Structure formats: structure tokens, C-alpha cells
Structure 1
């Protein structure tokens, strides 16, 4: 007779209890105890299956640890995705969510915005007012007043600026007035002054004749630049020093030197001059009406030379010493070196 078969003992890992074959506990199914590192999680109910066919899954060892490691990351990701709590006004979206519309504006930004709006408003008003003034017929020129003219007549000047009548004052430019007066040779320069609502004042700087330029039978009145301001047949009527050479002399260096000297002489000396000559720009000589002459030299130190010459011409005659002949009056005044003048 065969010997009875002994029950087989299955050795498990540490932590797993041994259960003899054939024995069962009070539960409907025996489940082998596992390591503390392994968790037993039952499967969810599968639809359309009988309760008896319910299955359980035993996770692999280490699965719980992987789950523990991944869950914090999921929580962190969820924390980032969660909307931040804010007091900003929100608007409900169509799907039930919320969308942030705007954050409250800081006080300094609100003040800066208000200042910018105010400045823009003021600039717009000023632009509108200036635009209306530029084209308003209320500010149209009705009267033109001239100041400073002596040689040219009022009628000639009024005729030259006739195109400015009825033109708005803000549109009139100084360059435009100078261009209109360019046809009047006596006018050297001009400046304007607006007097609303309808008056324009033009300040005239005239050219001053400094010499008579002999040109054949005529005598031309010329200024320092050689501009011809008029003509005469009688040189005595102009009371100006005479320069010979005709119109060909205008623009030459000697002519420029002579006219520069004559333009800087005081009227007290200029009225005594008979003529002016120059062999070169550095050798200008003046002849007085009483026969005396002046060696002027070049065009340097003009004011100082004029002061020294005036003092020499107005100095009293020296008195004769007893027993000696009377001194001869000076006929030549050399002021080419004004700090060391010479008379002879």
C-alpha cells in the first residue's frame, strides 16, 4: 500500500505567511500574503460581467513607489494650472470659466495719463486757434507804416509792398518783405513788426551815399558797397567827396578801401573832404577842400584814426615865440599809424 503524500510546503519571501495546502480562511478566496512593498488593489467592476467573475490585479513590486513619486509632480503641475486669486474684475465665459479683463491701474499711471490727455487737449485747441488766425480775414493787412527812410519817398515804398494788402498778418514773413523792397535800391535792409488787427510796421535801413563817382559827365551817388543811389550833374549839390575812375572802379580793391574809409569818417570831417584817391588798398589819401591832405593808410583802426584826425584838425594854431618866425601851419596829417601821428 502506497504511502500517503505529504502536503507540499511553498517557501515564500520574508514577510509572506505560509498556509498549508487544503486550508482556507473564512473569505471566499484565498489570497497569498505579499511583501509590505506590494499593495493589492482590486480591479473596478467590469460592465456586463457577473460578480463572480470579478478579478483582482496585483501590482508589480515597486509600483506603489512609482506612484508616490509621480503624484507630487502631478500636484505641482495642478498647482501651476490653477488660476491665481486676484481682486481684478472678471467676466464669466460661455463655458462656465472666468477670464481676467483688467488689473486696477496704479495711481501714478492714472495721473500721468490724465496729464497727457490734458496736454493733448490744450495743444489741439492752440492748433485750432492758430489755424483760424493764419487764414482769418479779420487779421488782413489794411495799413503799412514805414520807419527810418530819408532818401526814398513814401509813395515808392507803398507801391513796392502793395501785394501785402489784405494778406493775413500771421502769413507775412520778413524775407517776403525784403524781397518786395529789393527793387528799391535805397533800402539796404528791413524788419517787420505786426500790430494787430491790421497794421504792419516796416523798419527801413537805408543805404548811405559816401562819395560821388565821376562817370563821364555824370556824378553817381554810391554807398560803401558801390551801389548807385542816384546821379547828379552838379557835384557841389551833393557835398560828398569825389572818386574818379568811372563805374569800372566799382568792385576793385582800391575802390572798396576808399569807400570803407569814407563810411567811417565823422560828418565833421566828411563835410571838409574834396576827394579821395588810392594807389593801393594800403595807401588811401584824402584831400580836404582847403588844400590840406590826409595820409590814411589801410582800412585798419578806422575809429581810432578818425578820432586822431579830428583832434588834429580842430587843434588851435601854435603861437609864435618872441623873436622867432611864426610856425607854418601843417598841410599834411599822417594818421596811418594813429598812435604816433605825424604832421608836416
Structure 2
């Protein structure tokens, strides 16, 4: 059996031992932070807690960020006072806690004239109500008053006086099968589509939209002129044909675009 080498004998003579491998577990001793590092960590944690608590108090507990005024914009028929009353914004409440979605829902429910509304926080102490009102495109006579109908066929308000430039809808369906088959709702939507497709010049002169059936809608214009429109389909083609027909026969009293590829004009 071979004995120790010359190098090992020299190591022993100098009182040194060869390096020992790590223990069986191979674990290293964890070094704890120094006292100075522990103080830094403690101060950081305390500062974070103070800042968090201070921020919460500033948003919810202080008098600085509370609702003091409510502004409105976009109103045309409604008054700002009507909008503010319906919104019922909790003045004095923390601005951060105001439920803007609930205010929007409340406004649309209480004021059907409102088509859309955006409720925004105006820091540091205000709430803004940005309103978009519905615009009438048709009027339904109702016992001396008028029900306003918008471009979505929504009946949203009853007014005592007819707004200028808005045509009146005349039901002439009588006992037409269209009335029982489609109902007034669908016929109303068809009339609204016709109004939306009218050329601007014709829309300005339209006084009455007469609905006899789903396929028979006509217009009464200024100066006693009439237009047979037919159904609400092919609206753009009919509008183009009507524009060309009126230019070609400016003195005509009746225009027929029920078949837009073969329009006709008659009368004087």
C-alpha cells in the first residue's frame, strides 16, 4: 500500500491540513443584515405605512378633496338645473367615493331626453356632467301636443309646440295588413329611416311623412309638392334619383321614386 507523498509529508511538517470538503448537507450559513441595514429597513416600512395612511386620509377624510360644485355642458333643451337635480350628486362627499356610473344611470332614467352622458371627476372639488341630448327627427301628434321621436325611433318627450324643421308623422295605415303584421313600432322605424335618407334640401322642405303601409310611405313638401317613396329600402338610391329628378323637372308637383331606376315626375 503506497504511503503519503512527499508533498503531504511537507504539509504535515508545517502544521497545515489539506482543505476539507463541505459537510454532507452542503448548506451555507445565512448572514443576517447588519444593525445599520435593519434600521434602514425599519425606517422604510414606517415611512410607507405613514404615506399610505396619509394618502387614504387625504382622499377620504380631509376636507380638501370633497365635492363642492357640479358643472354641466351640452344641454340644449334641458336646463343645467334640471340636469343637476336629476343627477343628485352627493355634494360634500369625498370626490373619490362618488359613484359616477350610478349618476349616469339616474340621469338617463329620469331624463329620457338624454341620449348619453359622461360623468367625470374634476379634481380637486368638482363633478362634470357632459350631456348629449336626443334630437327629434319626427313628431307624432298627440291630442294637441307632439311626441318627439329621435333617429333611433325612440319616443323621448312630449312637447306643447312643434319644433321648427321637424316633419310630422301621419298614420294613414287604417286597417292595412301592414299595421297588424308589423305593428306601429316597425312602421315607425321605417319612417325614421326614410327621413334619415332624405337629401338635405328635401329634408328641409318636408312637412309630413305619411305611412299607409310598410311599402307605401310618402312625403308632403312645401308648395304642395309630394313624393312617393315606397318602402324604406334602397334609401340612398331613391335619394339620388329624387335629387336628379327635381333638377330635371323643377316645376313638377309630384315625384315618384318607388322604383329608383325608373323615377317619374308629373304635375306642375
| Structure 2 unmatched ranges of 5 or more | 1-21, 33-43, 173-178
Change (3 A) 1:335 1:137: farther
Task: Report Cα offsets for 1:186-216 as digits up to 9, x if no partner.
Answer: 2111112322101222211111111221223
Name the Cα RMSD after superposition. 3.9
Return the offset for 1:150: 0.6
Task: Choose from 142, 150, 155 the match for 1:227.
Answer: 155
Task: Choose from 149, 162, 165 the match for 1:239.
Answer: 165
How many residue pairs get matched?
220
Change (3 A) 1:332 1:172: same
Structure ranking higher in helix proportion = 2
Task: Choose from 201, 215, 218 the match for 1:285.
Answer: 218
SS of residue in 1 equivalent to 2:64: helix
Query: Are 1:334 and 2:262 an aligned pair?
Result: no
Query: Are 1:206 and 2:129 an aligned pair?
Result: no
Query: Are 1:133 and 2:76 an aligned pair?
Result: no
Q: TM-score, normalised by structure 1?
A: 0.52
Q: Is the 8 A contact 1:309 1:335 kept in 2?
A: no
SS of residue in 2 equivalent to 1:294: strand
Task: Choose from 84, 87, 106 the match for 2:24.
Answer: 84
Task: Report Cα offsets for 1:7-62 as digits up to 9, x if no partner.
Answer: xxxxxxxxxxxxxxxxxxxxxxxxxxxxxxxxxxxxxxxxxxxxxxxxxxxxxxxx
Change (3 A) 1:298 1:130: farther
| Structure 1 unmatched ranges of 5 or more | 1-81, 90-101, 106-117, 319-327
Q: Is the 8 A contact 1:141 1:198 kept in 2?
A: yes
Partner of 1:218: 145
Structure of larger gyration radius: 1
Separation in structure 1 between the aligned mates of residue 237 and residue 97 of structure 2, nearest angstrom: 46
Higher relative contact order (CA 8 A, sep 6+): 2
Separation in structure 2 between the aligned mates of residue 239 and residue 85 of structure 1, nearest angstrom: 92
Task: Report Cα offsets for 1:136-156 as digits up to 9, x if no partner.
Answer: 542222222222111111221
Return the offset for 1:83: 5.1
Task: Choose from 95, 98, 111 the match for 1:169.
Answer: 95
